[in-house]
Structure 1
Amino acid sequence: MDHAATSWPKPEAVINAMTESVTFMAGSPGRGTHGMSLQAGRTMNKARSTLSKLLGFGNPNDVAFAQNATMALNLAIKGLLQPGDHVISTMLEHNSVRRPLEFLKRTQGIEVNYVPVDLSGQINLEAVKKLFRTNTKLVIATHSSNLLGCILPVEELARLAHEHGAVMLVDGAQTVGNLPVDVERMGIDMLAFPGHKGLLGPQGTGGLYIHPDINLEPQMHGGTGSQSAEPEQPDIRPDRYEAGTPNIPGISGLAAGAEEVLRIGVEQIYKHEWSLTQTIVENLQNLSGVKLIGPALGEPRTGIVSFILENQDPAQTAFHLDRKYGIAVRAGYHCTPLGHAQAQTTETGAVRVSVGYTTQEYEVETLIRAVAELSKG
């Protein structure tokens, strides 16, 4: 029950695709004309095409592959912002957003406002409106908090951003593959996503959707197999943002995982996860000594439920869940210290349970019994 970190088990199609890639694709796309190199290129094109269908953008070349969502966010943030720019973000952001912003504050003098949220993770849009300035360049928001599981109104934030001439960047780490996302309909200009969570692919994969009107400064420079005689990075997509030999086995698995999500249907995945999380919330909220954080029962959320046991360190709780009951969860600060400040759990951290499409009802029942026993000491 740690799907917010990495989904597991992986579909058989993902394993087969990666095995086939390692076995038969000993070539680098764009770097050769032999069969294995060409097949590797076709695999990458297939992955881009599948993602464009899943995420609602027209040109598959508008997605750049990355090692993970963190690298994608770094490309988006550092590739767009310039000295003197102003950014609006939220107090729920992961360190993969906060740390690049703080780095640019220190080195380039950008300005940042982090918008607070209430205890259920809801943001005040009227407060956001008041933060826009003439130099506001970027609005950044996680689609769903990796601590609280709340879902932020990214469509409304995108509308506000565009009304003020700013770009909308969304961290889709907890929603891509788990919640319907359509970048064109929702007004998302850039979307960072991992391959190893809701997309059911392997670790070490991810990407960034970039609106065709946005030109980012590459953060990696090197060989692409295109415009090789030029000293500068190519200006064509996706080559501009994909220097070096790509992770073909990983992207093969990512493509297979995304196809599996399309086959099942994102709406069906979300419905399954919603049902399980509501069962967890309904049962844990009635246990003495258990404090739940995040949205209340019935309120919108992704497959994340975080809690604290009174008089027990979250690390202890996670340890006992693993060793005594065979339940894998995440404890600590979840790389979101500002989120814990909003949840009033800075001193303790929290235990995070996160379900996925493969989570079964009997597993949820086992979790509930285990937490009930631990809450009694």
Structure 2
Amino acid sequence: MIYLDNAAASWPKPEVVYRTLGDFLRGTGASPGRHVHRMGVEAARAVEETRQKLARLLGLEDAWRIVFTANATDALNLAIKGVLSANDHAVTTVMEHNAVRRPLRALEAIGVAMTKVRADGQGFVDPTAVRAALRPNTRLVVVTHASNVNGALQPVREVAEIVHEHGALLLVDGAQTVGALPFTLADLDADLLAFGGYRALLGPPGTGALVIGPRVDPSELSPLREGETGVNSERDIQPAELPHRYEAGMLNTVGLAALGAALDFLHEVGIDRIAAHLRVLTDRLIEGLGGIPGVRVLSPDDPNRRVAVVSFVVEGWDPVDFGDVLDRTFGIACRAGLHGAPEACRALDAFPHGTVRFSPGFFTTEQEIDQAVAAVRELARTPLHLA
């Protein structure tokens, strides 16, 4: 199997992740707590150590401003629905995933207005277009750091300057960049950063986080749910303290412990080394695909403005059919279709069928990239004409 679907979930994981999952469940699989038995104390320690490791990765002084969630979608929903209320206005872009599009659409029912900023043919958003979309009541701007369709890396820092001049908050969807590129929250100048732990961070499914930057007052970010947190149990209102305000109920302790092990692995390897490896693979992949007749590569030309997410279409082929043949005939696992981002596909002139998406990861080799390119070249010679 050649696995090229790391933009959805990374695979394989480091061996230490598999080992931690089993060891934790066998020896520490209790509900976390500070004033309970030893297993509960150990579970709580594992969760807080992972929080500290993420804080180190993202350059945060206060680790409790990292709130654990079930995935990136969960974190985005918390940020969007926690910030916006009736009569607010939000700005977003056509390059966003449904994890952004659908929560914003749902909030229109309570009187939240939304403006979407267009992208160019390579998927880039112009910061001046964001400025033009702002209104007096704009409360939140939501931008993906890098597109999950074609890897276009957005000018987040420039957008942040415009948003903050206006007095609004910036939420960045870091699903495709946290763990894949070296940066801190301060580098982005974002107020809220959402991501999952199961992509470039190499952790297991069911893990994610929302980073709440220092400009965000937690009293102005409503929780999505209330419940037991292990603190202030005598009261029937949700604690105001971070992170308890947003972490009601049982956390995915085993997943977070394994994410902590993955973070140790990333720290040992180094994010700079990972980013360099992914860039070599991406450059090789785009160069190879670009030389195949009938293949149109949709990822940006500039290597400095893209991540390891490469989309393409093949003349005469439906992307889903193409991906199915790659899997069944060549043992290549990829993603095909609209990728949960139909407006991004439209901006790239790949709607309604979508694209074939190759997304290499840290464990992908250059030989596997060459084999994937060779498979595309062979299939491109025998198109299955679209109906």
Aligned residue in 2 for 1:123: 125
Return the offset for 1:56.
1.3
What is the correspondence of 1:142-221 to structure 2 with a 5 Å cutoff?
142-212=144-214, 213-215=216-218, 216-221=221-226
Given residue 324 of structure 2, which amino acid in structure 1 is its aligned partner?
F
- Partner residue of 1:351? 356
Instruction: Give the whole-Å Cα distance in 2 for the aligned partners of 1:121 and 1:26.
Output: 44
Q: Given that residues 30 and 224 in structure 1 are in contact (C-alpha distance below 8 angstroms), is that contact kept between their aligned partners in structure 2?
A: no
Counterpart AA for 1:326 = G
SS at match of 2:296: strand
Counterpart of 2:319 in structure 1 is: 314
Q: 2: CA distance between counterparts of 1:62 and 1:330?
A: 34
Look up the equivalent residue of 1:52 and give its one-letter code: A
Identify the match of residue 247 of structure 1 among 238, 243, 252. 252
Q: What is the CA-CA distance between 1:143 and the residue it aligns to?
A: 0.4
2:287 and 2:260 map into 1 onto residues whose CA distance is 36
Aligned partner of 1:301: which letter? R
Indicate whether 1:85 and 2:79 are aligned: no
Partner of 2:356: helix, strand, or coil? strand
CA pair 246-122 structure 1, distance change in 2 beyond 3 A: same
What is the Cα deviation at residue 158 of structure 1? 1.1
Task: Give the counterpart of 1:20 among 23, 27, 31.
Answer: 23
Matched to 1:110, the amino acid is V
Q: Answer yes or no: is 1:75 the counterpart of 2:73.
A: no
Report the alpha carbon displacement of residue 220 of structure 1 after superposing the two structures with TM: 1.1
User: How far apart, CA to CA, are the structure 1 residues paired with 2:187 and 2:337?
Assistant: 36
Question: What is the aligned counterpart of 2:12 among 9, 12, 27?
Answer: 9
Amino acid at match of 2:70: Q
Q: In structure 1, what is the equivalent of residue 380 of structure 2?
A: 375
SS in structure 2 of the partner of residue 130 of structure 1: helix
Equivalenced residues, count: 376
**Contact 1:90-1:140 within 8 A present in 2 as well:** yes
Deviates more, 1:46-55 or 1:112-121: 112-121
Between the aligned partners of 2:302 and 2:60, the Cα distance in structure 1 is 34
Letter aligned with residue 138 of structure 2? T
CA distance in 2, matches of 1:288, 1:183: 42
Report the Cα distance in structure 2 between the residues aligned to 1:299 and 1:19, rounded to whole angstroms.
Answer: 39
Q: Measure, in 2, the Cα distance between the counterparts of 1:299 and 1:37.
A: 46
Specify the alignment match of 1:58 in structure 2: 61
Pick the aligned partner of 2:261 from 256, 259, 270: 256
Contact 1:278 1:297 in 2 (8 A): no
- Given that 2:29 and 2:253 are in contact with CA atoms closer than 8 Å, whether structure 1 keeps it comes out as no
Q: Is the 1:170–1:190 contact (alpha carbons within 8 Å) kept by the matching residues of 2?
A: yes
Deviations 1:257-284 (A, max 9, x none): 1221222111211111111111111111
Deviation per CA, 1:153-208, whole angstroms, max 9, x where unpaired?
Answer: 11111111111001110000000000122112321111101010010000011010
Q: Is the 8 A contact 1:86 1:112 kept in 2?
A: yes
Residue 97 of structure 2 is matched in structure 1 by 94
Structure 2 counterparts to residues 296-311 of structure 1, below 5 A: 296=301, 298-311=303-316
Instruction: Tell me which residue corresponds to 1:288.
Output: 293
Instruction: Show the counterpart of 1:365.
Output: 370
Aligned counterparts of 1:68 and 1:335: Cα–Cα separation in 2: 15
Corresponding residue number in structure 1 for 2:385: none
User: 1:31 Cα deviation (Å)?
Assistant: 6.6
- 1:68-103 superposed Cα distances (whole Å, 9 cap, x missing partner): 000000000001111111111111000000100000
For residues 181 and 191 of structure 1, what CA distance do their matches in structure 2 show?
A: 12
Using the alignment, how far apart are the partners of 1:280 and 1:83 within structure 2?
46
Greater displacement, 292-301 / 279-288: 292-301
1:275 aligned residue (262, 269, 280): 280
Counterpart Cα distance in 2 of 1:331 and 1:73? 24
Contact 1:30 1:226 (8 Å CA) reproduced: no
Letter of the aligned partner of 1:16 in structure 2? R
Work out whether 1:325 is the aligned partner of 2:330.
Answer: yes
The SS at the match of 2:209 is strand
How high is the TM-score relative to the length of structure 1? 0.98
Aligned partner letter, 2:43: A
SS in 2 for 1:70: helix
**Superposition RMSD on alpha carbons, in Å?**
1.1
- Deviation string 1:234-270 (CA, Å, 9 cap, x unpaired) is 1111111011111111001111112212221112111
AA in 2 matched with 1:367: A
Kept in 2, the 8 Å contact 1:119–1:294? The answer is no
List gaps (5 residues or longer) in structure 1: none
Q: Which runs of 5+ in 2 are unaligned?
A: 383-387
User: 1:144 and 1:26 mapped to 2: Cα distance?
Assistant: 36
Shift of 1:113: 1.1
SS of match in other structure, 2:133: coil
Deviation at 1:297, TM superposition (A): 5.6
Task: Check the 8 A contact 2:73/2:99 in 1, yes or no.
Answer: yes
CA–CA separation in structure 2 for the residues paired with 1:103 and 1:257: 35
CA distance in 2, matches of 1:133, 1:337: 26
Q: Distance in 1 between matches of 2:188 and 2:151?
A: 20
